[in-house]
């Protein structure tokens, strides 16, 4: 099971929107079962999920103290992907979640305030050794600030190649427990999420591509051995 954390210190950057949308998209792409965890006391993701009619993705109620054990339990239950939403802060909670994650997604609006706020989250991820990816959210088409934001962010880490634009359906879909893909699969928003998920999926499934084939085969063999020693 892979664990993705969605975090950024800045409020309203799109953490909850992304957590819900990526979980649904991952499930639609067939990599499920997918589960969500909401560690934000505001509970927006839980509220969204409660409004949902569809059963998937699953929703796991846990606490930050139990998260590590519950991750192990979910993995044993056969959950393939867990996405964890977090509060807009830099706290112990966020550090715990990022420390347990295979990948951190940092959504950022292309505004100077948001860009200034990414530093603290990046430092936390770097200190914990968790790979990160920035997602520009709420961009205005053809605005110069978006490309400036992209340049600024790429100096701190990898930027997802798919930008999410400011569109009403992102906000309205979340109100009734759905996603833009469920509202209108042919929409531009839906296409943005589909592209974003395939990029994120390639990131979490990343193999050691830079190694020579024989070395990577050896790495695979030793990984298999250690997997056998864990399970056998
Ligand atoms: N691309 C977008 N287009 C239009 N509205 C958006 C977009 N992304 C997010 N929103 C809206 O902006 C608001 C904030 O988004 P969201 O709740 O996902 O942010 P957040 O980072 O989880 O906020 P918080 O820090 O409070 O937890 C919500 O009303 C959401 O519907
Ligand atoms: Mg939120």
Ligand 1 pocket mutation pick from 13, 15, 17 by most atoms within 8 angstroms of CB: 17
Closest CA to 66 of 34, 96, 23: 96
Ligand 1, atom 10, residue with closest C-alpha = 171
Q: Could you report the per-residue pLDDT of 168-222, keeping only the tens digit for each?
A: 999 999 999 999 999 999 999 999 999 999 999 999 987 554 444 444 444 444 4
Using the atom order of ligand 1, give the atom closest to the CA of residue 18.
18
Does residue 146 sit in helix, strand or coil? helix
For 21-64, the pLDDT digits (tens) are 999 999 999 999 999 999 999 999 999 999 999 999 999 999 99
Give domain status of residue 6, yes or no: yes
**What pTM, to 2 d.p., does this model score?**
0.89
Q: 130, 126, 43: which is closest to 87 by C-alpha?
A: 43
Ligand 1 geometric centre to CA of 123 (Å) = 23
Does residue 110 belong to any structural domain of this protein? yes
> In angstroms, rounded to a whole number, what is the distance separating the alpha carbons of residues 60 and 209?
34
21: domain range?
A: 2-205
CATH number of the domain to which 34 belongs? 3.40.50.300
- As for how many domains the chain has, the answer is 1
Answer yes or no: is 230 within a domain: no
Q: Is 215 part of a structural domain of the chain?
A: no
What radius of gyration, in Å, describes the C-alpha atoms of the chain?
18
- Look at residue 210 and tell me if it is in a domain: no
Position 211 in a domain = no
Please give the distance, rounded to the nearest whole angstrom, from the Cα atom of residue 177 to the centre of ligand 2.
14
Enumerate residues 6+ apart whose C-beta is below 8 A from 38: 19, 44, 45, 46, 49, 59, 84, 85
How far is residue 24's CA from residue 20's CA, in Å, rounded to a whole number? 6
């Amino acid at each position: 099971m892979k664990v993705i954390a969605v975090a950024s210190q800045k409020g309203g950057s799109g953490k909850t929107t992304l957590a819900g949308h990526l979980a649904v998209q991952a499930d639609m792409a067939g990599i499920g079962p997918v589960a969500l965890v909401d560690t934000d006391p505001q509970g927006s993701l839980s509220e969204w999920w409660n409004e949902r009619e569809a059963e998937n993705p699953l929703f796991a109620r846990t606490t930050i103290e139990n998260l590590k054990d519950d991750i192990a339990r979910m993995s044993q239950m056969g959950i393939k992907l867990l996405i964890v939403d977090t509060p807009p802060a830099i706290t112990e909670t966020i550090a715990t979640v990022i420390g347990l994650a295979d990948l951190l997604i940092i959504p950022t609006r292309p505004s100077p305030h948001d860009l200034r706020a990414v530093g603290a989250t990046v430092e936390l991820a770097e200190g914990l050794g968790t790979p990160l990816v920035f997602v520009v959210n709420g961009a205005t088409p053809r605005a110069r600030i978006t490309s400036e934001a992209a340049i600024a962010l790429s100096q701190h880490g990898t930027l997802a190649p798919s930008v999410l634009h400011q569109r009403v359906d992102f906000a309205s879909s979340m109100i009734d427990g759905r996603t833009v893909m469920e509202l209108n699969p042919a929409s531009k928003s839906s296409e943005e999420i589909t592209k974003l998920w395939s990029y994120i999926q390639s990131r979490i499934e990343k193999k050691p591509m830079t190694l020579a084939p024989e070395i990577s085969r050896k790495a695979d063999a030793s990984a298999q051995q250690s997997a056998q020693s864990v399970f056998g």
